[in-house]
Amino acid sequence: MPSISVIVPAYNAERTILETVNSVLQQTFTDFELIVIDDGSTDQSAQLLQAIADPRLKVFSYPNGGASVARNRGMEHATGEYFSFLDADDLWTSDKLQLQLDALQAHAEAGVAYSWTCNMSPTGEAFYPGLCATYTGNVQAQLLVSNFLASGSNGLIRRDAIASAGAFDPALDAYEDWDYFLRLAARWTFVVVPKYQILYRQSPGGRSSKIATLEQCSQIVIDRAFRAAPPELQPLKQQTLAVNYQYLAGLCLAYADQPERMLQAGEVIWKAIQAFPPILLEKQTQRYALKWLLMRLLSPQIATQFTRPVGLANRIADPRLPSPSINP
């Protein structure tokens, strides 16, 4: 049996699925099975996968059930001692599995290893660093405040930890990864690989652009997590709500080409301040508020000239490429 089971839920992913699958097949760690769940695709996803001649790849087709259902179906087929999930439009650096496995083997008590996420443009031509979290051990408090793993494409999880957390919630159309990581954090410690290894593709038509759905699902996840959290962590809830609204504000501004998005941005910025007033002192909140104001007074195009791209910092080199050597 393979050491690691990699599970990829795929729905109409013909534009990205081959690149995603290749980022797994090109891992330096090779003892894995790659399970792709074709979640009722109506495009050429399944046909493209059939052309890959690698015995580690296993493709299963089902009627459409959504990302959570697809992941759960993948877990039913998985035989590895460790599990890792990868969305069909995201990528991994070639050392992702090896370094995360090394981290778990070095910390027998840990249930989850995670790495840093790098934001990637839709075409995969530009890269921007995400949050560089370094939390280890009991991370429940930090994970309650924000999902520092950033996406469901992060993490290597022991089979025992998967068994204790159960299945992904099929009722959630978003934030199901944060919900799952929170359940894991309530039972297991985490360990970090301090390196950019997950390349998260930012797509205008992706789930992250559906603000109303995100707000609804985030409220469900937050309420559920705090009902299960110990008493000493309950005071964090207002901060959690504010950080989530701040995140939603960034998404609204990133897709502020429509008038309703502009309105939503102002609303969620105000909700963040109401939930936890100290968040107004954070530079990120101030930057979002300034950009929103400039967009209202001028235009999205002109405002962008005065502020950095929302949610993005300075561009960095492709994390998949080796770092340049430095001669003394």
Q: Which residue has the higher pLDDT, 131 or 258?
A: 131
Tokens 């939603």 belong to 248
Strands (E), the chain: 4-10, 32-39, 57-62, 82-85, 91-92, 110-120, 127-129, 156-158, 189-201
What is the C-alpha separation between 278 and 184, in angstroms, rounded? 29
Buried b vs exposed e over 55-66: b needs ≥16 C-beta within 10 Å? ebbbbeeeeebb
Paired strand residues for 35:
7, 58
Supply the Cα-derived Rg of the chain in whole angstroms.
20
Question: Is pLDDT at 70 greater than 60 in this prediction?
Answer: yes
What is the C-alpha separation between 275 and 272, in angstroms, rounded? 5
Q: Give the model confidence (pLDDT) of 144-189 as tens digits.
A: 999 999 999 999 999 999 999 999 999 999 999 999 999 999 999 9
| Residue 312 confidence class, pLDDT cut points 50, 70, 90 | very low
Q: Give the model confidence (pLDDT) of 235-275 as tens digits.
A: 999 999 999 999 999 888 876 666 677 788 999 999 999 99
Q: What is the mean pLDDT of the chain?
A: 90
Cβ–Cβ under 8 Å, residues 232 and 144? no
Question: Is pLDDT at 9 greater than 60 in this prediction?
Answer: yes
Q: Give the model confidence (pLDDT) of 101-120 as tens digits.
A: 999 999 999 999 999 999 98
**Distances in whole angstroms, Cα of residue 74 to Cα of each of 16, 39, 79:** 19, 11, 10
> What local confidence, expressed as pLDDT, does residue 206 receive?
56
Question: Is pLDDT at 310 greater than 70 in this prediction?
Answer: no
